[in-house]
Amino acid sequence: MKVAECTTILVGKKASLDGSTLIARSEDGGREILPESFKVVLPEDQPRHYKSVLTGCEVELPGEPLRYTSVPDAHGKYGVWAAAGINEENVAMTATETITTNARIQGIDPLLVDDGLGEEDFVTLTLPYIHSAREGVLRVGELLAKYGTYEMNGMAFSDKDEIWYLETIGGHHWAARRIPDDAYVVAPNRFNIDEFDFESPDFMASADLQTIIADYKLNPDFEGYNLRHIFGSATVKDTHYNNPRAWYVQHYFDSNLQTTPLDQDQPFIVHADRKISVDDIMFLMASHYQNTPYDVYGDQGTAAEKKRFRPIGINRNFETHILQIRNDVPAGLAGVQWLGFGPNTFNAMVPFYTNIVDTPASFRDTGSKFNLQSIFWLNKLMSQLGDTNFKLYGELESAFEQKTVAACYRIQHQTDKLAQELQGAQLQTCLTKANQKMADLTFANTVELLGKMVEEGHAHMQLKYDLLD
């Protein structure tokens, strides 16, 4: 079975720099390289009868699906794994964040064994059928109640106004919270939702969840409901694998926070000391504890400290997305899917418009085998070379990333102005051309960077014997 462990960042519209809603996630895997692609699923290509590859679970789907973007696995041997996208109603979804649980809830509502739905399935079964973020929560809730799940997962939904984060609980239950407009969230691979108000319209859950908590005496707190305390974990693994990632993000946005990497009760809903940009999220998704003793590439810590905590940017990043729904442009321009393939320390994220009917070949036609025409494989090659000597290659990558993202911003600004009055097929053609232009320059800049790395690394090879040696 495919392993996927990720990091999620959510930013409300009043917390973001430009008033957009932002939901982001790195899709991480295990030892096996799992190439990713970028595709548009048209209504006529959406299945009417769905069957999961991993479990064989069969679902009859509603009629009249919406067009949507997706980031499926290139080989498909474990299923679709559509991962994330934005549909034609400018509703975004990312799924899923692998999370933790505890034996208490598993004894009441066990995870299914070899049955039900999981990360492989949720985007395909949900995103084409929802017209708001809130509808996304309700749709997944219905699927969980009817079909169940074999794993613990978190997922996020957004539209131009709202962001909702949902976590599965046991085999058939769930809880979701609306993210306040002026707040942000970082969610690593643990149960993340903490304070929960069953009476507020900004919270939703399975109809019997509060009753289960009472009947089985699951609440360890004297007052209120903290779902992380009730359904989640607080293990030694959390202190090394999960909590440090949340700590690093939260301290990046507010250095005065009084928390440590080991803390089990880091807050779920957080407020930054400034507005949050897409660039902030790109940095954090590539971060490896810079300027701390825990940076594997840094010079502050001991060998043990450098390996103590799992970073966000890691060799197992296979794709990372930032789903942006903008509020300062016409609806036809609002959806932007920032996308980067491979480890985030050596890639550049590209702001693809989602009101399109096709995607650039270098991002679409990845293939399951190594292919130098694919941006996924180029980024994977570049990151593995860069990892051999980060001090040597890191500045080259930084310059490449800034150059590439700046050029993409420029194309986006020009396209936004050009396309203000366009509609329908004319608008889609304009946006498709802009996407192609951004993909082409990213590909060219990536090849250029790879060439510079080869030139720079030539003199630093160990297998050498200079004439003057």
List active site positions: 6
Backbone φ, ψ for residue 392 (5° rounding) = -75, -45
Judge whether 225 and 185 are in contact, CB under 8 Å: no
Is residue 180 exposed (0-12), middle (13-18) or buried (19+ Cβ within 10 Å)?
middle
DSSP code at position 87? B
Element (H, E) at 142: helix 133-147
Find tokens 């803390």 and name the residue. 263
* Angle subtended by helix axes 243-253 and 278-285, to nearest 10: 150
- CA dist 107 and 111 (Å) reads 9
**How far apart are the two ends of the chain, measured CA to CA in Å?**
52
Contacts of 132 (CB under 8 A, 6+ apart): 89, 91, 159, 162
Question: Which structure tokens are listed for 107?
Answer: 């004894």
Judge whether 99 and 153 are in contact, CB under 8 Å: yes
- Three-class SS state of 229: helix
> Per-residue b/e over 267-292, b at no fewer than 16 CB within 10 Å?
bbbbebeeebebebbbbbbbbbbbeb
DSSP-H helix ranges across 181-242 = 209-215, 227-231, 236-237
Q: 328 vs 124, 313, 335, CA distance in Å?
A: 29, 31, 11
Judge whether 149 and 112 are in contact, CB under 8 Å: yes
